[in-house]
């Protein structure tokens, strides 16, 4: 699982952590109903999660399209707007669970959070 934080927002560490957690929960919930086998593989392999940064929303949207084309599950977290950003702002793109090699082809060049 890779969680891509939107760098241009300059979220505080706490806000970024919460948004990443939202994305991880959303991906697990989705996988429970759509791809139980992928979820079980991910769990058996230690539930690996990596947080990286994409500088812009456009970059994240390109990643989402590439993920969909590769059959990798994806979710966008949209903030409620109660603290640091406006309501509906896309803060994190979650990818997975999927094979590490498949996600790495898309996100391997992004810097770690």
18-38 pLDDT, tens digit per residue, is 999 999 999 999 999 999 999
What domains can be seen in the chain, in order of their start residue? Answer: 2-107 (3.40.1490.10)
- Of 54, 59, 33, 41, whose CA–CA distance to 97 is shortest? 41
26-84 pLDDT, tens digit per residue, is 999 999 999 999 999 999 999 999 999 999 999 999 999 999 999 999 999 999 999 99
Q: 0.85 cut: is pTM over it?
A: yes
- Phi and psi at residue 8, in whole multiples of 5°? -65, -15
């Amino acid at each position: 699982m890779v969680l891509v934080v939107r760098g241009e927002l300059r979220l505080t560490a706490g806000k970024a952590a919460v948004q990443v957690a939202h994305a991880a929960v959303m991906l697990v919930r989705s996988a429970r109903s759509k791809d139980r086998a992928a979820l079980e593989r991910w769990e058996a392999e230690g539930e690996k999660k990596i947080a990286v940064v994409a500088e812009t929303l456009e970059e994240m949207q390109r990643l989402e399209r590439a993920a969909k084309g590769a059959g990798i599950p994806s979710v966008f977290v949209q903030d409620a707007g109660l603290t640091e950003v406006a309501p509906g702002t896309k803060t994190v793109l979650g990818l997975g669970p999927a094979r590490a090699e498949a996600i790495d082809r898309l996100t391997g060049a992004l810097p770690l959070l």
